[in-house]
Amino acid sequence: MRATWGGCEPVPAASGTSMIASLLGVLFDGLAYGMLLFLISVGLSVTLGLMNFVNLAHGAFGMLGGYLCALAMARWNVPFLAALPAAFAAAALAGLLLERLLYRRFYRRSHLDQVLLTIGLTFMSIAAATFLFGPQQQALRLPESLSGQFNALGVDLNTYRMFLLAVGLVLTAALTLVLERTRFGAAVRAAVDNPRVAEALGIRVGLVFQIAFAAGCGLAGLGGALGVEVLGLDPVFPLKYMVYFLLVVAVGGTSTLKGPLYAALLLGVADVAGKYYIPQVGAFIIYAMMVILLIVRPQGLVSRS
Amino acid sequence: MIAVGDPSRAARFPWEEGVFWLVLAAGFWLWPKHLALAGHVLIAGLFALSYDLILGYAGILSLGHAAYFGLGAYTAGLLAQHGWGEPLSGLLAAGCCAALAGFLTSFLVVRGQDLTRLMVTTAIGLLLFELANRLSSVTGGVDGLLGIEMAPLLGAFRFDIYGRTAYGYCLAVTFVLFLCVRRLVRSPFGWSLRGMRDNPGRMLALGYPVPHRLIAVYSVSAAIAGIAGALLAQTTQFVSIDVFSFNRSAEVMVMLIVGGAGVLYGGLVGAAVFTLAYHYLSSLNPVYWQFWLGAFLIAIVLFGRGGVLGACVRISRMWRERRREPAAQP
């Protein structure tokens, strides 16, 4: 397997000729791309950020969602909008199973063991995907209503990317509500702040983490399914985007949902703009940005207290 | 308590180790048809040895060690391509180049904790991969660096098609560097590294200059990785952009874990097991190989602490205890 480290090669949707139009187009594409990164990475911010578990296999759940969606649409003619919840459910279920079988035993182990476990899982998922679906890129046929372009304020915008932004905003709002307004959200926050005291107060920390982990994997699956059109989907997906997911969490910090969201949007815009305006430099910008940000702000952009 | 830094102990060379190296030297007659493969094992073993210094001894988690391996490979390759085909000076130049890069990047690496280190090293590896990819006029890009012409080793031994010279060359370099590393980890410096791995806070409180020592060991490790890369470039007379790939960084970690981290021979044993398993399994099907590699990794972290050498130590200990029991009974 040879992973190409170019990341995605987004085709800017803007076809306007003026400078402003192309700028807006890049911004728009970058935001949609960043929203996808956020959806996939938000689950990682639970495992990596909150539970301090180095999970390099997170992208594999995204890939699972993507393949399930592509397969359901191509083989069983499931409509796209119905395949999305299925992708969420499948990835969440897989996450739940793996958490019970493997991850749980590693919460207290060293980071090295966690890295080895999750790299092993990543390799297995890549091999399994190659074996089942072949090494080629998977294509997805979007429904008519979501494909094509529409014109807003004199700029041609891609309908699907608009849809991505809308879905992302709705899900972010829902997540914020769950975490900040519900009893479960309070339990998650308590379990993260101080697991021992939370346990003493009667919160079943293990169960809370399990549900949070599964939900995070489900969101990754949903993001993977939504992202087939933008990120592409092939067996090396988990490795190809691993750095991006890690970066979102590391830069975003973990105290709020806002941190990873801003980080993902920033990353998305920077990546698309870099590839559009200075294609010679390629993925260089992202990696350089990563090193600099990690050195300057090791606690993340929006740090805890 | 083992006498720390006791020179007589450090200098002692037990017979098991002698046998190990003699078997490798006898490789010319033991596996004459597989010398090229054996040379690759030695190179991978040397690379894993360099990684053992930072992971096994100093406890620095890195997923970008291929950066230094690749730098060494390209340094030696470019030198030879531009007419400087003398192998030993090329090796030295590659080691210096990688050491310098290791020294400069070590400041970024030693600052953080596990996760930050993991990401910074990954990013450094990917940065160099991208750099080699973009500078294709110099590096040949994805086509690789071609046209490497090596002069005969020491002016006498030509690099032959059967890999005899290459094997002897790799073996000699690996052995010399192994002795250096062996001396290093048994010195007070080496013991202080283990202390920093196990409890950096306490070592700092005891007055050890923790960051300085980590920077030093990281640079040394980078130099050895660079020399391993240079050996690969010189013996295969080709450099693929693959030397910088993330997979190579992950593989060296796997080799070390398979063999056993923090025990000098772990890297060499792991490299042998890994390379042979790779050749066997990937000849069946390359996809299966990756699957089994992943499964094997998970099995190792679940059950096999300490890798192959750890298992050997446990088995020999069990055997010794069983032998002692019947002797104690009558």
Calculate ∠ Cα A4-B256-A128, nearest 5°: 45
Q: What is the pLDDT of residue A87?
A: 92
Arithmetic mean of pLDDT, A127-136: 88
Find tokens 């080799």 and name the residue.
B255
A77 in reach of chain B (CB within 8 A): no
Residue A125 pLDDT > 90: yes
Kindly state whether B252 is in contact with chain A, defined as any CB-CB distance less than 8 angstroms.
no
Distance from CA of A169 to the nearest CA of B (A): 28
The answer to whether the CB atoms of A5 and B134 lie below 8 A apart is no
Q: What is the pLDDT along chain B (330 residues), one digit of tens a residue?
A: 344 445 555 556 788 888 888 888 887 888 878 888 888 999 999 999 999 999 989 988 898 899 999 999 999 999 888 888 788 888 999 999 999 999 999 988 887 777 778 888 888 898 888 888 888 788 877 787 887 777 777 767 777 777 788 888 999 999 999 999 999 999 999 999 999 888 888 988 888 888 899 999 999 999 999 999 999 998 888 888 888 888 889 889 988 988 888 888 989 999 998 888 888 888 887 777 888 888 888 888 888 777 778 878 888 888 888 877 665 554
Q: How far apart are CA B318 and CA B321, in angstroms?
A: 5
Structure tokens at B311: 């298992």
Q: For residue A153, what pLDDT band results from cuts at 50, 70 and 90?
A: low
pLDDT for B93 equals: 93
Alpha-helical regions (H) of chain B: 7-11, 15-25, 27-30, 35-52, 66-81, 87-111, 114-134, 136-139, 164-185, 188-198, 200-205, 210-236, 246-259, 266-284, 286-302, 307-328
How far apart CA A244 and CA A249 sit, in angstroms, is: 9
Do B128 and B121 touch, CB atoms closer than 8 A? no
Q: What is the pTM of this model?
A: 0.84
Q: How would you classify residue A189: left for phi > 0, otherwise alpha for psi between -120 and 50, otherwise beta?
A: alpha
Residue type (1 letter), B254: V
**Closest CB to A284 among B55, B130, B297:** B130
pLDDT at B46: 94
For residue B63, the one-letter residue type is: L
Lowest mean pLDDT among A46-60, A129-143, B65-79, B143-157: B143-157
Element (H, E) at B61: none
Q: What is the mean pLDDT of residues A251-259?
A: 74
Q: Which of A174-183, A296-305, B72-81, B300-309 has the lowest mean pLDDT?
A: A296-305
**A113 and A203 in contact (C-beta within 8 Å)?**
no
Q: CB of A263 within 8 Å of any CB in chain B?
A: no
The C-alpha atoms of residue A131 and residue A22 are separated, in whole angstroms, by 41
Per-residue pLDDT at A65: 93
Per the CB < 8 Å rule, is B257 touching A298? Answer: no
Question: How far apart (Å, rounded) are the C-alpha atoms in residues A231 and A37?
Answer: 9
Calpha distance A3→A240 (Å, rounded): 6
Yes or no, beta carbons of B119 and A3 under 8 Å apart: no
A197 inside 8 A of chain B by CB: no
Residue type at B208 in one-letter notation: Y
Helices (H), B32-113: 35-52, 66-81, 87-111
Token output for B114:
């596990």
How many cross-chain Cβ pairs, A to B, lie less than 8 Å apart?
131
Can you give the pLDDT at residue B103?
94
pLDDT for A5: 38
B283-321 in b/e form (b: 16+ CB < 10 A) is eeeebebbbbbbebbbebbeebebbbbbeeeeeeeeeee
pLDDT cut 90: percent of chain A above it: 18
Please compute the mean of the pLDDT values over residues A95-108 and round it to a whole number. 88
Token pair 């299925």: residue: A86
Q: Once rounded to an integer, what is the mean pLDDT over residues A161-175? A: 90
Q: Is B5 helix (H, G, I), strand (E, B) or coil?
A: coil
- Most A-contacting residue of B65, B116, B287, B302 (CB-CB within 10 A), to test interface: B287
- In the DSSP assignment, the letter for residue B223 is H
Cβ contact (<8 Å) for B250 and A119?
Answer: yes
The string of pLDDT tens digits covering residues B14-59 is 888 888 888 888 878 888 788 888 889 999 999 999 999 999 899 8
Nearest to A126 by CA among A42, A241, A49: A241
Under an 8 A CB cutoff, do A3 and B245 touch? yes
Q: Is A51 on the interface with B (CB under 8 A)?
A: no
Note the pLDDT tens digit of each residue in A187-206: 888 887 788 888 888 888 88
Q: Check if the beta carbon of residue A235 is closer than 8 Å to that of residue A245.
A: no
With contacts defined as CB-CB under 8 Å, which chain B residues touch A127?
287-291, 294
Q: pLDDT averaged over chain A?
A: 82
Model confidence at A299, pLDDT cuts 50, 70, 90, reads low
Is A124 an interface residue toward B (CB < 8 Å)?
yes
pLDDT tens-digit map of A2-32: 333 344 444 444 444 567 777 888 888 889 8
Six-digit token pair at B144? 């690789």
Residue in B107, B133, B141, B134 with CA at minimum distance from that of residue B121: B107
Helix H or strand E encompassing A151: strand A149-152
Please give the pLDDT value at position B138. Answer: 80
